[in-house]
Amino acid sequence: MGAKMFGARVPRLEDPRLLTGYGSYTDDFHLLDMLEAAFVRSPHSHAKINGIDVTAAVAHKGVVAVYTASDLPEDLRYTTVPFQVPNPAISQPFQQRLLEDREVCFSGEPIALIVADTRYNAEDAAMLVEVDYEILPGASDCKSSLDDAAPLCHADAPNNEGAKYTVGYGDLDAAFANAHLTHREEYWIHRGGGFAIENRAVVAKYEELDDVLTIWSATQSPFLVKQNIVDMLGWESDKVRVIAPDVGGGFGPKTVYYVEEALIPVIAKDLGRPVKWVEDRRENFLATNMERDQYWDMEIAVDVDGKLLGVRGSMIHDTGAYMPWGIISPYISATTFPGPYILPAYQLETRVALTNKVAVTPVRGAGRPQAVFAMERLMDRVADKLNLDRAEIRRRNLIPTEDMPYALGLIFRDGKPMTYDSGDYPKCQAEAMRLGDYDGFKIRQKAARAKGHHIGIGIANYVEGTGLGPFEGATVRIQPSGRICIYTGGGDSGQGHWTTLAQVCADKFGVGIEHIDVQKGDTGKIASGVGTFASRIAVNAGSSVHLASTEVREKAIKVAAHMLEAAEEDMDIENGRVGVKGSDLSVPLSEIARAVQGMPGFSLPGGVEPGLEATHYFSPSQSSYCNGTAVVEVEVDPETGQVEILKYSMAHDSGTLINPFVVDGQVQGAVAQGVGNSLLEWMVYDDNANPVSATFAEYLLPSAPEAPNVDVVHVESPTPINPLGVKGAGEGGTIPAAAAIIAAIEDALSPWDVEISCAPVTPSMIAEKVWAKACD
Amino acid sequence: MKPPPFVYHDPHSIDDAVSLLAEKENAKLLAGGQSLMPMLNMRFVLPDDVIDINKIEDLSYIRDDGDALVFGGITRQRDIEFSDLVEQKIPLMKEAILNVGHRQTRNRGTFGGSLSHLDPSAELPTVSIAQDAIVSVRKKGATRDIPMAEFPMGYMTPSFDLDEMVTDIRVPIWPTGHGYAFVEFARRHGDYAITSSAVLLDVADGGEISKASVTLGGVGPSPLRVATVEEGLAGEVGSKELFTEIAEKCRDIDAMEDVYTPAWYRQHLAVVLTRRALAKAFSRAANGTGMNLR
Amino acid sequence: MSDRRNISVTINGETFEREVETRLHLADFIRHECLLTGTHVGCEHGVCGACTILLNGQTARSCLMLAVQADGQEIKTVEGIAPNKEELHPLQQAFQDNHGLQCGFCTPGMLTTLLEFLEDNPDPTEREVREAISGNLCRCTGYQGIVAAALDAAKRLQAGS
């Protein structure tokens, strides 16, 4: 048998295609007779529409059709996007209309769709559509939008409160009555987006001959898109096929079903010609969902040793103008707050605010970075007040390993009680501190300060629910050629599913991963699927591949035993051949696959069912909880406010690793996104909620000089929830980043006693705080 | 984000280019394209005609005129970056050019394009003002020289007319052994600076500053010389105390404010960067002494 | 109104003759007229670097050029980097071996940028590599794998030459 593949640090199978320019992303499809679409979008955050005149646009060169809301086919089952995830806490579940012709509620909302021979001509025509707007005031900041006097996000709504709910447990009155020390503080975490380098894109083709719609979409959730389109058209499910080809990054925003994904197929069917729409970067800034904006007002109570007694408070979450993903993000925030600590009592009231901005749905981290920021900053404050080391106060409060599984007393978004399945939080923190030489830092800091350099260290912990159900299935099929193919529903937007799922399968057949193909993200290839989000593929699809591969292996053995006239228990599989142990007798998988295809008139060997394949839909009983610790060392220039990350250390526990190489990459990339959220990424809106920073020159993503090298150490606490012991790994790097980085900045500036309660923090904010203290 | 329709022209001589400029009402000159092309893609500009001057061969050169280096209008930023002449004679420009965008943009971007676009924090206009460059512009039948001091008319608005184009830039050379420093603060590597400070010092024996040029980028609507600092330096012996004190004068300058950057911060950076640049420039001057005011 | 011209552009050694609208930008020409879809478009305002190509051996953002400007010029795109169908260029191999890509969308721009850079600077420091790719945005990798790949490629290329 060859080298073991599961757990091996092997390079990816995906890479050669992508490195040579032969990937196929949605915009790479060129279909015969294909038309291109461009949208007319509202330039105002809030306006009433009194009329739309498309006359000049229709007459423009190359234009084939112009659609407004009133031009859409009449037989659509809905013209407002269906609410995906209802929750009784939601009082005003506003959803977007496919095209708006009455009241636009965010800058970028689509009003008309132009279809032309080229995108260039379509954009020309879009400029010719005349829309009569009556501009209305916009609700911008989510906190002030909840004031009685605030402009209304939707003109006919009673107020801007979209949802309200409280989570919590324990006796808070007692906690605060018995407290040695309490501290109350407000925190603000600002908006940020996914900003995949590939924008969204949709190509749709209707084949009249077989009455089938095929849609290629740069989506994380092809099955969600399919179901929504099927519902919209009222068609039979098998007439719609959605394919997520190579997707150039997801990070959350491509999870949700968008109006453009509904409209392009409708128009392709209506016109009888393929239609392509590729979002440009300006549209991406205006009309692709974002996340993060939250205000937290929290009060913490601790005893004399710094042990947590209770935390209470309230949070305001910006949901934008619509709620396509309900309250998933703020609910995750609320339930993430306790983190890895023993928190005897906790209560959080959340109010979800409607604002005249693009909708808020999960972005990598999904509500967790904000919660972790609030919790970890409170820990820092209490440590400082008690004159305790910031790591030590954490250590004293960590849930000990022997208490696993640990029931929090909260209900998670999957409706089940939150129970941490496994994890060694003390070890994780200790490993991160060792990696970052936390204990040696005081000496380093003293030496640096003597030379006029201001360095600081920060630490932050987090726990993250991953591997969200209900399922992601896999079919494992051995082809008559002998190659193994895995089919699964979730697409790949850079995670490397081909490689990692092949690693799960390969050992069952004693082959290298190069003998395995993975076809993913295609609703035509497997009956059911969910999608690639919420750090769920390794857990769900990985376990399904494991189960299906095991079944196929057993079947192969059964058939081979029959073919070789041997006992099943004497068989083994090596190098893709099933043989009798200790003999030369063996039969290749290809021959077995051929044998179970069947021959007319003959029964199948061993009486098995046809086909050397199996399908499983693994469904986890609950989320599996990943955790980690970030230790960050920074240098701050107190005059300019410039922050340089000197050392970034991360202990990360996502259970068993399928491929450490790939997990390292996930952690590194996620950290970079967290660096953006901490120091750079700031989506600026004016007081009326009109976006200001709608280019990459204004909204700053980290580039290579700003991104740190991340030293990662893996702590492996296998989860008992799935057969592989794996947990999700795609988001953990992002989650504690802002908390740790900003703590480090504060520490560097401790001579000025600077306090920072928001993220991101910009150089001018830092310089101003230092200057204010220096002038005192 | 696709360019709007326009008629494209690619003249092969300056005469042809300025004739087209005279003739076309709503035309844009396309040099390196690193500013105009994004504006076209975003349809922030809607010209009827685009006049591409990249095919005009006699617009790209770096010439040594003894007391000055003369640059053709479409000399690429890349050519400046790799020019030994520039490194030897205008080291301030060499130091500044490495902050201009990225290799991919410097390969295309031009000197004349930077001046014509005139972003308040762009490096080449800042250096040109610091070095008292003279810009030659031509229109049909006429050529004139504009000293850099008079070149900016307002925010991103050069003082030449719409029918004129930049043909060359004459950058006077400072004496051998002069001190220089270009210090800027940008959010990320290669971004436009929030503020920059360009300093030239002529230092006599004993460390006495005989001549100073101090220019701030990004503070005002266009790069500006700080006369109060220059005057305060002249005749003084360079020292940490002098530079620390004199740089504070930058705090009095009227500064721009936008949603990203308060005026206060630009003034503050002007002080900090100018102090650092003065120390760096003085350290580099043949008759200066080493110091660090970071 | 449609201003059109005939142009002839050599890409990866193959000559493409097309009649194009003069406003067509070069990235769209390469992708949609020549069907070389390896060059990607990420922002169309010259910041992300995904569309970086080599124009006469020098990198350029192809979204910031008109196709007509490339008339008579030589271009190399990501499809032209590998020596043949079976083999990767040492830089490409280093990317695979160092996990220098995830979704692959920024990768073509990273490769073209680094090809030019490593020719000018065959033995770079990490800092120099980071600055060299500062005009190319990647949202997946955090750049760590890319930087490692570039440093590894420099060694491989030096050993090979």
**One-letter amino acid identity for B105?**
T
Q: Give residue A612's pLDDT.
A: 95
Which chains touch C (3+ CB pairs under 8 A)? A, B
pLDDT tens digits, residue range A532-566?
Answer: 998 899 999 999 999 999 999 999 999 999 999 99
pTM of the complete model: 0.97
Residue with tokens 């794998």: C145
* Mean of pLDDT over chain A: 96
Position A598 confidence tier, pLDDT thresholds 50, 70, 90: confident
Q: Give residue A608's pLDDT.
A: 87
> Burial code of B102-127, b = ≥16 C-beta within 10 A, e = fewer?
bbbbbbbbbbbbbbbbbbbbbbbbbb
Cα C127–chain centre separation:
21
| DSSP letter (8 states) at residue A423 | -
**One-letter amino acid identity for A63?**
V
Judge whether residue A393 has pLDDT over 80: yes
Write the burial class of residue A542 (CB in 10 Å: 0-12 exposed, 13-18 middle, 19+ buried): buried
| Chain A residue with minimum CA distance to B266 | A764
Judge whether residue A59 has pLDDT over 70: yes
Q: Give residue B294's pLDDT.
A: 84
Going by their DSSP bridges, the two strands B49-52 and B7-9 should be labelled as parallel
Chain B positions touching A706 (Cβ under 8 A) are 188-189
pLDDT tens digits, residue range A475-523?
Answer: 999 999 999 999 999 999 999 999 999 999 999 999 999 999 999 999 9
Position A1 confidence tier, pLDDT thresholds 50, 70, 90: very low
Judge whether residue A336 has pLDDT over 90: yes
Position C161 confidence tier, pLDDT thresholds 50, 70, 90: low
Residue with tokens 């690619």: B10
**One-letter amino acid identity for C117?**
F
**One-letter amino acid identity for A67?**
Y
Question: What torsion, rounded to 10 degrees, do the Cα atoms B241, B244, B249, B251 define?
Answer: -150
Answer whether C6 touches A (CB < 8 Å): no
Judge whether residue C1 has pLDDT over 70: no
Kindly state the average pLDDT of the residues A726-743: 97
Answer whether A15 touches C (CB < 8 Å): yes
A650, β-bridge pairs: A630, A712
Cβ pair B189:A282 closer than 8 A:
no
Determine the Cα–Cα distance for residues C149 and C156; give it in Å rounded to an integer: 10
List the strands of the sheet with B49-52, edge to edge: B7-9, B49-52, B27-30
Q: Give residue A417's pLDDT.
A: 87
Cβ pair A665:C36 closer than 8 A:
no
**One-letter amino acid identity for C68?**
V
The DSSP H or E segment spanning B229 is helix B227-233
Residue A555, both tokens: 């079947």
Judge whether residue A97 has pLDDT over 70: yes
- In the stretch 692-711 of chain A, residues with CB closer than 8 A to chain B read 692-693, 695, 697-698, 700, 702-703, 705-706
pLDDT tens digits, residue range A573-596?
Answer: 999 999 999 999 999 999 999 999
Answer whether A61 touches C (CB < 8 Å): yes
Judge whether residue A751 has pLDDT over 60: yes
Write the burial class of residue A50 (CB in 10 Å: 0-12 exposed, 13-18 middle, 19+ buried): exposed
SS3 A712: strand
A694 contacts A43 by C-beta, under 8 angstroms = no
Please name the residues in contact with B49: beta carbons below 8 A apart, sequence gap of 6 or more.
B6, B7, B8, B9, B20, B24, B26, B27, B28
Kindly state the average pLDDT of the residues A264-284: 98
3-state secondary structure A224-250: HHHHHHHHHHCCCHHHEEEECCECCCC
- In the stretch 610-649 of chain A, residues with CB closer than 8 A to chain C read none
Judge whether residue A734 has pLDDT over 50: yes
Determine the Cα–Cα distance for residues A460 and A462; give it in Å rounded to an integer: 7
pLDDT tens digits, residue range B190-220?
Answer: 999 999 999 999 999 999 999 999 999 999 9
Write the burial class of residue C119 (CB in 10 Å: 0-12 exposed, 13-18 middle, 19+ buried): exposed
Residue with tokens 């005897």: A344
**One-letter amino acid identity for B42?**
M
Q: Is the ipTM reported for this complex over the cut 0.85?
A: yes
Listed residue (A219, A207, A273) closest to A247, CA to CA: A219
Please name the residues in contact with A210: beta carbons below 8 A apart, sequence gap of 6 or more.
none
Determine the Cα–Cα distance for residues A745 and A636; give it in Å rounded to an integer: 7
| Chain C residue with minimum CA distance to A197 | C42
SS3 A723: coil
Cα A686–chain centre separation:
28
